[in-house]
Structure 1
Amino acid sequence: MTSARIRAAHAGDAAALHQLHCATWREVYADLVPPEVLEERERTGLARWEQVLTDEGGMTVWLAHRDGTPVGLARAEAAGVQQVRSLQLSELYVLASEYGRGTGAHLLELAVGDAPCMLWVARDNARAVAFYRKHGFEADGAEQQVEPWGALPIIRMVR
């Protein structure tokens, strides 16, 4: 099976990215965060994607699609000088129907390449943790809770 086609997203993709982001969150986080977190993301997420995609100095958002249907997204950003890595993978989500098809790996490659990088991932998202380990990331012991997401525990992974 081949990876989905991937391209840089543009301002006209905000609604599609919002719907995709909500769908992937429902698949991944339904058992990890309270329902109101998912509801809030659905209510407010479109405005966030519109802002991200129209920020002229912003980062590239990669959008994967299969047969014209959005199936994955990724973006990275500068993490800042006080961080353990200067590059942070801020989002990488694919629909469950894309698992094992190479789409996540290709999105990761486009977003960060082989650069030293950091990311935060839900501690209890075993599939994502295993995916990142497969691609050279290791947990470095940093952990925190995201209060707005129902105190979701997240861990930092670096490579």
Structure 2
Amino acid sequence: MALADCDRVAEIRVRGWQHAYRGMVPQSYLDGLSVAEDAERRRRMHLARAEGGVVNLVAEDPGGEIVGWACHGPYREGEVLTEEAELYALYVHPDRVGQGAGQALLVESLTRCAAAGRGRLLLWVLKENARARRFYERSGFRPDGAEEPFEVEGVVVPEVRYGRTL
């Protein structure tokens, strides 16, 4: 991912949230998401994280349009970075879901994490997000029993952790 991709990545992330999390997080929160604000956040994070082992990947269609984005790096145990890897995000534009971009991004993240010597790749997914959970389970990820509350506008939305040995 290049710095110039931040606007498109922000659009994919925001539209992905609005599509995937409808009915799971407060609609007012989803309606309030801003592509412009997220793009600015992506630019700041892209510049700051480039040195910290964080990798941002994009998937393009044959015409060169960015259709998906993934981000991985060291697993975060609170404020401490561990030797394991974490998939921080994986989103595909809602119009492109089911066309292989998400799987391609996941495979590339797995490959890069294994090449970096990481033993496991961990990720967090909303407990109610059955579609995402099936996607990860088809790729060999399994819930490891860890759960955390994720609060959105005062509503607790539980997340479960999944992991896969590399």
**Which category describes the TM-score, using the shorter chain as reference length?**
0.7 to 0.9
Residues 83 and 138 (structure 1 numbering): CA distance in 2 closer, same or farther, change over 3 Å?
A: farther
Amino acid at match of 1:91: A
CA contact (8 A) 1:140 1:157 kept: yes
- Aligned identity (percent) is 28
TM-score (norm 1): 0.83
* Stretches of structure 1 lacking an aligned partner (at least 5 in a row): 1-8
The answer to which structure has the higher strand fraction is: 2
Question: TM-score, structure 2 length as denominator?
Answer: 0.79
For these two proteins, the number of residue pairs brought into alignment is: 151
Q: SS state of the match for residue 152, structure 2?
A: helix
Give the alignment of 1:1-159 within 5 angstroms. 9-42=1-34, 44-55=37-48, 56-58=50-52, 59-66=54-61, 67-80=63-76, 86-113=84-111, 115=114, 116-148=120-152, 150-159=155-164
Whether the aligned pair in 2 keeps the contact of 1:61 and 1:75 (CA below 8 Å) is yes
Distance (whole Å) between structure 2 residues aligned to residue 83 and residue 139 of structure 1: 21
> 1:18, 1:133 → 2: CA distance?
26
Contact 2:15 2:94 in 1 (8 A): no
The 4+ residue runs of structure 1 with deviation greater than 6 A are: 81-85
Alpha-carbon RMSD across the aligned residues, in angstroms, is 2.3
| Cα gap change, 1:16 to 1:106, in 2 (>3 Å) | same
Q: 1:15–1:158: structure 2 CA closer, same or farther, 3 Å change rule?
A: same
Instruction: Say which is worse superposed, 149-158 or 75-84, in terms of deviation.
Output: 75-84
Q: Residue type of the partner of 1:64?
A: A
